[in-house]
């Protein structure tokens, strides 16, 4: 038993739903109690889907447990076929149904449906959502895909994108264009957008692009073995990774890796002097392993950050992340315990977090800016605009996304000069964000505050007061307070222009 407050991954049957909902012409009959239908809203609300997920739940209740839940399952399965006429059905159990051991696969088989019925065994008490997606996709491919004659032109399948994925929609588009530039046709994208009949013709492709190992590695390995399709190992997120990916595809296909990269802006944006302030920023990176690996490389090699720590919540990839941590010379945190992640961040005190929506919350609590790089997803992770992570446009998007939460160059200098300001401090957030909430400026100008200093009357001389007003309003309060603090520490009770600049020199770093 393990106490959990927030979870990074849902149960494995939600992974199966992500596959089913991404696909077309497939139906999922899920043996599950009433209430498990909550999962529909993940898709209809977070992803704003305008169709119900293709899932029929048996929604058994206590009164059914005494009688015949197996019959309930068979009825639900038959009715789902009659109503939706899918090309194939996947059947399985959620955590509670797993306990009552009705064997959905065996029950569905007895119905003799004229379509493929694919049973899923997803151990709910051991595994999680990503495993569920990976295993489901693997079973679908294993049941439906067969060796075939390859297409005349060089082609590939893009595998891994699912419903509720982090930017999967746009990654598919960007990657398809990138491959097209190289002269590679996309045969099938799966699971997202594929029907069972599309899965059946996946064998025509020359190779597979494994876009998200979390959800398609088992299928990639099976297809390599059974369909003779090699698969790419680099996920093209970031400039370097995209170039490595192109080289990998070139090695498989003998095509040229040279493609038009005139849209790529990250390298110049990162090199321009405006980005100097990014130098050596200490970042902590946490998320699913694929996005963490890609982000670590971008952070270090393409943004000039210092990686202060990394981690992932999906234990399946612990070895990869530990190896990467070793290479970076930092500790690796493999945990799905939100509180543990928070503790590590508190210890490391990074200047920025690249994480999930959970780390965004942690960052808010600790006053550390955070950019989101990975699932679990939130409605904000489904922007209306085109916003891929892969390829050249993905690199541009990542640059913008990552610098947005940061305090910009000049503002940062001012913060360093005048620390502990009541208006501009870590918790107030960058001033270009709507959430920036300085306290009432009138309070800063309150003469009473001046008198309240330990030594009693600290008086601003006229010239000093005029000088103070020349300081930009957004740091004036801090300058005033720091100067007063400095004056009182020095036993000065009249503040002159000189005192003001001595104070500035004192607090400047």
Region near other proteins per CB under 8 A, out of 10-18, 179-187, 273-281, 389-397 = 10-18
What are the DSSP calls for 429-488, one per residue?
A: --TTSTT--PPPHHHHH-HHHHHTSTTS--EE-HHHHHHHHHS-HHHHHHHHHHHHHHHH
Under the binding rule (CB under 8 A), the answer on residue 343 touching other proteins is: no
Smallest gap from Cβ 25 to other proteins, in A, equals: 17
Length of the chain in terms of residues written = 509
Are the C-beta atoms of residues 465 and 457 closer than 8 Å to each other? no
| Contact window for other proteins (CB under 8 A) among 33-41, 220-228, 439-447, 450-458 | 33-41
**Cα separations (Å) of 79 from 34, 56, 111, 388?**
18, 9, 11, 39
DSSP, collapsed to helix, strand or coil, labels residue 169 as: helix
The binding track of 71-100 with respect to other proteins, each residue x by CB under 8 A or -, is: -----x--x---x----------xxx--xx
Residue 488 binds to other proteins (criterion: CB under 8 A): no
> Which one is catalytic: 75, 274, 440, 446?
274
From 43-51, 153-161, 180-188, 485-493, span contacting other proteins (CB under 8 A): 43-51
Q: How far is the CB of 214 from other proteins (least distance, A)?
A: 17
353 makes contact with other proteins (CB under 8 A): no
| Residue choice 300, 315, 364, 504 for contact with other proteins (CB under 8 A) | 364
By CB under 8 A, name the one of 28, 57, 138, 399 that touches other proteins: 57
With beta carbons less than 8 A apart as the criterion, state whether 140 and 223 touch: no
- Residues in CB range of 93: below 8 A, 6 or more apart: 13, 30, 31, 32, 102, 104, 122, 124
Q: What is the nearest approach in angstroms of other proteins to the Cβ of residue 153?
A: 36
Binding of residue 204 to other proteins (CB under 8 A): no
273 near other proteins, rule: CB under 8 A? no
Those residues with Cβ within 8 angstroms of residue 497's Cβ, 6 or more apart along the chain or in another chain: 461, 463, 464, 467
CA distances for 364 relative to 283, 287, 334, 373, angstroms = 15, 17, 22, 16
Least gap, CB of 94 to other proteins (angstroms): 6
Q: 63 vs 385, which CB is nearer to other proteins?
A: 63
CB of 96 to other proteins, least distance (A): 4
Pick between residue 72 and residue 190 the one whose CB is nearest to other proteins: 72
Q: Which of 422, 420, 438 is nearest to 509 (CA)?
A: 420
Using CB under 8 A, which of the segments 60-68, 175-183, 203-211, 326-334 binds other proteins? 60-68
d(CA 474, CA 277): 20
**CA–CA separation, 144 and 88 (whole Å):** 9
Quick check: helix, strand or coil at residue 136?
A: helix
- Cα-only R_g, the chain: 28
Among 263, 365, 416, 432, binds other proteins (CB under 8 A): 365
# chain residues binding other proteins, by CB under 8 A: 58
Among 221, 265, 300, 378, binds other proteins (CB under 8 A): 378
Ordered alpha helix ranges (H), 26-128: 39-41, 62-66, 69-84, 95-100, 104-110
Q: Which is nearer to other proteins, 341 or 444 (CB)?
A: 341
Which pair of tokens denotes residue 146?
């067969």
Q: Are 322 and 340 in contact (CB under 8 A)?
A: no
- Interacting residues with other proteins between 97 and 156 (CB under 8 A): 99-100, 123-126, 128
Nearest CB to other proteins, comparing residues 97 and 307: 97
Q: Is 335 in the site for other proteins (CB under 8 A)?
A: no
For other proteins, give the closer residue by CB, 383 or 472. Answer: 383
Least Å distance, CB 213 to other proteins, is: 22
Residue 274 known to be catalytic: yes
Angle at 423 between CA 419 and CA 427, to 5 degrees: 80
Residue identified by tokens 């100097």 is 276
- Helices 497-507 and 462-470 pack at an angle, to 10 degrees, of 50
Instruction: Tell me which stretch binds other proteins (CB under 8 A): 45-53, 155-163, 179-187, 201-209.
Output: 45-53
Is 40 or 331 the residue whose CB approaches other proteins more closely? 40
Q: Does 213 bind other proteins (CB under 8 A)?
A: no
Minimum separation from the CB atom of position 38 to other proteins (A): 5
> Among all residues, which ones are annotated catalytic?
274
Site residues for other proteins per CB under 8 A: 1-7, 9-11, 13-14, 33-42, 44-45, 48-52, 56-62, 64-65, 76, 79, 83, 94-96, 99-100, 123-126, 128, 339, 357-358, 361, 364-365, 378
């Amino acid at each position: 038993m393990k106490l959990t407050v927030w979870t990074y991954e849902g149960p494995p049957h939600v992974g199966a739903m992500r596959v089913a909902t991404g696909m077309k012409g497939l139906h999922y009959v899920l043996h599950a109690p009433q209430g498990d239908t909550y999962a529909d809203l993940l898709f209809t609300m977070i992803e704003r889907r305008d169709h119900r997920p293709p899932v029929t739940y048996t929604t058994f209740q206590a009164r059914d447990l005494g009688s015949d839940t197996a019959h309930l399952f068979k009825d639900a399965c038959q009715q789902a076929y009659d109503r939706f006429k899918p090309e194939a059905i996947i059947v399985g159990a959620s955590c509670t149904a797993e306990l009552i051991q009705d064997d959905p696969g065996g029950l569905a088989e007895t119905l003799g449906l004229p379509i493929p019925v694919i049973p899923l065994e997803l151990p709910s008490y051991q595994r999680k959502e990503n495993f569920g997606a990976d295993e489901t996709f693997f079973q679908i491919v294993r049941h439906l895909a067969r060796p075939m004659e390859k297409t005349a032109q060089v082609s590939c399948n893009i595998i891994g994108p699912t419903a509720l994925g982090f930017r999967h929609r746009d990654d598919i588009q960007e990657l398809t264009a990138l491959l097209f530039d190289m002269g590679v046709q996309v045969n099938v994208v799966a699971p997202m957008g594929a029907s069972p009949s599309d899965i059946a013709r996946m064998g025509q492709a020359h190779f597979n692009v494994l876009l998200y190992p979390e959800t398609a590695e088992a299928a990639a390995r099976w297809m390599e073995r059974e369909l003779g399709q090699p698969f790419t190992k680099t996920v093209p997120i970031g400039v370097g990774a995209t170039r490595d990916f192109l080289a990998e595809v070139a090695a498989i296909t003998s095509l040229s890796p040279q493609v038009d990269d005139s849209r790529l802006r990250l390298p110049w944006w990162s090199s321009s002097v405006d980005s100097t302030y990014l130098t050596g920023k200490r970042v902590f990176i946490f998320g699913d392993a694929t996005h963490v690996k890609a982000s670590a490389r971008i952070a270090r090699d393409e943004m000039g950050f210092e990686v202060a720590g990394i981690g992932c919540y999906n234990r399946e990839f612990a070895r990869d992340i530990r190896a990467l941590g070793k290479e970076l010379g930092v500790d690796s945190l493999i945990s799905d315990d939100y509180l543990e992640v928070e503790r590590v961040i508190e210890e490391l005190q990074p200047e920025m977090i690249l994480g999930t929506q959970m780390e965004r919350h942690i960052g808010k609590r600790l006053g550390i800016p955070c950019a989101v790089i990975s699932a679990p997803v939130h409605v904000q992770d489904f922007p209306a605009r085109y916003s891929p992570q892969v390829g050249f446009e993905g690199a541009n998007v990542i640059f913008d996304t990552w610098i947005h939460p940061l305090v910009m160059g000049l503002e940062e200098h001012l913060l360093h000069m005048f620390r502990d300001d009541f208006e501009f401090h870590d918790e107030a957030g960058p001033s270009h964000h709507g959430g920036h909430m300085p306290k009432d400026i009138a309070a800063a100008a309150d003469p009473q505050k001046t008198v309240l200093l330990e030594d009693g009357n600290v008086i601003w001389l006229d010239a000093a007061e005029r000088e103070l007003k020349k300081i930009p309003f957004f740091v004036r309060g801090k300058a005033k307070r720091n100067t007063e603090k400095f004056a009182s520490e020095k036993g000065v009770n009249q503040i002159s222009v000189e005192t003001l600049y001595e104070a500035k020199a004192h607090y400047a770093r």
